[in-house]
Chains A and B, each alone.
Chain A
Amino acid sequence: MTKAIESKNDIFEIEFTLNGAKKAFRAGAGETLLELLRREGYRGTKRGCDTGDCGSCTVLIDGRSMLSCMMLAVQADGRSVTTIEGIGGPADPHPIQQAFVESGAVQCGFCIPGMILVTKELLDSNPEPTDAEIRQALDGNLCRCTGYVKQVEAVKNAAKKMSQKAKR
């Protein structure tokens, strides 16, 4: 059955799971998912270029990293979206967030939410990635501050932390 939804006054009424909670949202007719998320207060997802080239707007859609600036907001309907806020907060950071902090991989921090989400995607399917696999996974997240050196270290440290956590 072909599903079709129409906007009313340029607004789509949609529903999607955001950071684990299914909610109703209003998606503008000319709006990207990035704009919807930031408008809804999820400001950890950043706008670096708006053309799909920098990775600052990365979110996880059904567990896969995607560019929210290159998606219509309405495309999120019926899906599961994870932003950096759904990974962990200062009171209960995810091991990946901790690893980035401890490895000195965070300078200005603008690219970091995207990097952390991609790292989660990587480590969920590949718990012991090689350097080359890490760099391949991060190849859509531009960073001008770090030269990527400590970020690759951070992903390796995150892998260690997560495997230790899994063993317990």
Chain B
Amino acid sequence: MNKINTYIRPESAKAAAAALADCKGKAVLLAGGIQIVKTMPPGVTAVVDLRDARLSYIKKEAACLKIGAGTTFSEMVASPVIKKWAGGMMHKAALRVSSNMIRNMATVGGSIVRPYPFNHFPAVLYALDAKAVIVLKGKTSKVAIAEIFEKELGSELGRTAVLSEIQIPAGTEKWNGVFDRVAKTESSWENIMICAAAAEIKGGVCKNIRLALGSALPKPVRLLKAEKSLSGKKITDILASQAGDIGAGEAGSFNSVSAPSEYKRQIAPAVIKRCVLAVS
């Protein structure tokens, strides 16, 4: 383990970003710590702990639902707003994060800054059209979640940039939402495949649908072609099957984390299909 000689506790995201800048590359952000305490990069001797930065909140506003990046998964599970939002898909996803203690420690922000296969939330947030608020070099900006996994921004987060908030469009509140997960065991960290689906169904017709696949690929993906095949239509068994095949085809090449990639390719259509049916 690295020797940490400086321990900083800022009281806001901006102050955290400033502290990171002051440390000139020798500091990392510490939220839950699960992904960082035992795997600090070489040369890191300072830690900026976000525990006092007031980033733990869930605020329903007119335009969007704001979730502070420092909100723990236990807080997500306990939140009545999250339990009801989009069919409770975030609640279900939070409930299945690792283990009780990790849900108490790990934060939503921490779980989306790297596309590690064991994190559920990237795919879930894709399906909700979520955006992330980033503080970097004194400036605050809003980016799509997908941008976080782009090389440049991805390497800045936690080292020079602070992810402070996640925003979910208010319109998704009444959508149906589904969180599906294939793993070796229920409690297993390592997911074989995550499928998240959120849809606005009006009069039996699918007005809007978002499908995302996670953990089985190098980065989470939105299944745009599969979405298009369902949008504006009444979802039937056949249509869901087809969407499953389309989605599996467009997903790209599957990784072999926790299960052979061939297996993932085989089950993807069925997993996507059952998510589509569940969300309709």
Interface residues of A (CB under 8 A from B): 1-7, 10, 12, 29-30, 32, 50-53, 55, 58, 64-67, 70-72, 74-75, 77, 118, 136-141
**Complex partner residue of A55 from B74, B101, B105, CB under 8 angstroms:** B101
Nearest first, the 10 closest Cβ-Cβ pairs linking A and B are A140-B99, A29-B3, A30-B3, A2-B10, A4-B8, A140-B100, A7-B5, A3-B9, A64-B104, A140-B101
**Interface flags, B185-226, vs A, CB<8A=1, else 0:** 001010000000000000000000000000000000000000
Are A32 and B5 in contact, CB atoms less than 8 angstroms apart?
no
Contact with A along B12-25 (1 / 0, CB 8 A): 00010011000000
Q: Is the CB of A2 within 8 A of B19?
A: yes
Contact B6 A65 (CB under 8 A): no
Hey, which chain B residues are within 8 Å of A7, CB to CB? 4-7
Q: Which residues of chain A are within 8 angstroms of B33 by Cβ–Cβ distance? A: 70-72, 75
B140 at the interface (CB under 8 A from A): no
Using Cβ atoms and an 8 Å threshold, which residues of chain A touch B38? 50-52, 70
Contact check, A67 vs B101: say whether CB atoms are below 8 A apart.
Answer: yes
Residues B102 and A52 in contact, CB atoms below 8 Å apart: yes
| CA gap between A4 and B11 in the complex, in Å | 11
| A65 contact from B4, B19, B30, B101, Cβ within 8 A | B101
- For B7, the chain A residues whose CB sits under 8 A away are 4-7, 12, 72, 74-75, 77
How many chain B residues sit at the interface, stated as a range, is 20 to 34
Known: A1-B11, A29-B4, A66-B105. A140 touches B47 (CB 8 A): no
A74 proximity list for chain B (CB < 8 A): 4, 7, 47
Cβ contacts A to B, 29 pairs, < 8 Å: A1-B11, A2-B10, A2-B18, A3-B52, A4-B6, A5-B6, A6-B7, A7-B4, A10-B5, A29-B4, A29-B5, A30-B4, A32-B37, A52-B38, A64-B74, A65-B100, A67-B101, A67-B102, A70-B38, A72-B33, A74-B4, A75-B30, A118-B100, A118-B101, A136-B95, A136-B100, A138-B100, A139-B100, A140-B98
CB distance from B168 to the nearest CB of A (A): 25
Nearest residue in B to A6 (C-beta to C-beta)? B6
When distances are taken between beta carbons in the complex, the residues of chain A under 8 Å from B11 are: 1-2
Q: How far is the CB of B9 from chain A (nearest CB, A)?
A: 5
Does B245 make an interface contact (CB < 8 A)? no
Does any Cβ of A come within 8 Å of B155's Cβ? Answer: no
